[in-house]
Amino acid sequence: MNKVVLIRHGESEWNKLNKFTGWHDAELSQNGKIEAKNAGFLLKKEKFFFNYAHTSMLKRAIYTLQYILKILNQPWIPVKKSWRLNERHYGMLEGFNKNEILQKYGHEQVLLWRRSFHVNPPVIDIKDKRFPGNDVRYANIDTNKLPRGESLEKTIQRVIPYWDQFIYPQLKEKKNILIVAHGNSLRALMKYLNKINDKKIIELEIPTAVPIILEFNEKYIPTKWYYLK
């Protein structure tokens, strides 16, 4: 039986400050580092072994993965990083405290921006420092592909091609795969793989640093998923 393990990064400094983080490269908080290590110990207790790992271009996910692989004593496995696994880009909301945005725009509007499947947050200009095209790490990517503000629907549109091109072929080789990413990029994968409808996916919360185990049958179709606690 093949397994894919999904893990959201440990708590970041901006999670702790209740800010819209998105593509901002926030550090792990001290609690986040502990969470990451605990995820590693959980996987070690269950004797998980991985052939490949995937993560985003953001250090809160990269460092979480590093903590986990160190505890598993598997730091040598191939790791691929991609912007396609980055968190959803929150556009103009990035960097603002969520309570401040609630007070300014009201609960109903903020709920639409945060939880609606189709609705985008207000987008940023390409001259804005928050636009990924102004970050050296994305210099080799067509700026037309980089987001200025995304709904979950748009996040899915960039995550699934990565799954199809890089992860699914490894799964078909009967390899065990670890993906350390973000709340919304992982929700995108969960929606796609488990055929969760547009309304139900809004209800799915991905807790920080709690492994989600996806089991696949011999035809590489997901059969069940559960949290490892």
Ligand-binding annotation for 153, yes or no, is no
Q: Decide the pairing of beta strands 212-216 and 2-8.
A: antiparallel
Q: Is 183 one of the annotated binding-site residues?
A: yes
The answer to the question of whether 155 is labelled as a binding residue is no
Q: Find the catalytic residue in 35, 54, 87, 182.
A: 87
> Does the active-site annotation cover 87?
yes
Which two tokens mark 116? 């609606």
Q: Say if residue 10 carries a ligand binding annotation.
A: yes
Q: Which two tokens stand for residue 37?
A: 């290590």
Q: What are phi and psi of 6, to 5 degrees?
A: -105, 135
- Active-site position among 9, 24, 54, 182: 9
Q: Is 55 annotated as a binding residue?
A: no
Residue 224 marked in a binding site: no
Cα angle 170, 173, 177 (rounded to 5 degrees) comes to 40
- Is 113 annotated for ligand binding? no
11 is in an annotated binding site: yes
Q: Is 9 a catalytic residue?
A: yes
Structural contact between residues 24 and 94, judged by C-beta atoms closer than 8 angstroms: yes
User: SS3 string of 50-101?
Assistant: CCEEEECCCHHHHHHHHHHHHHHCCCCCCEEECHHHCCCCCHHHCCCEHHHH
| 140: CB partners within 8 A, 6+ apart | none
185 is in an annotated binding site: no
- Between the alpha carbon of residue 105 and those of residues 22, 25, 50, 149, the distances in Å are 19, 26, 45, 17
The reply, when asked if residue 106 is annotated as ligand binding, is: no
Is 176 annotated to bind ligand? no
Instruction: Check if the beta carbon of residue 90 is closer than 8 Å to that of residue 26.
Output: no
Q: Which residues are catalytic?
A: 9, 87
Binding-site residues for substrate, in ranges, read 8-15, 21-22, 60, 87-90, 98, 114-115, 183-184
Binding-site residues, in ranges, read 8-15, 21-22, 60, 87-90, 98, 114-115, 183-184
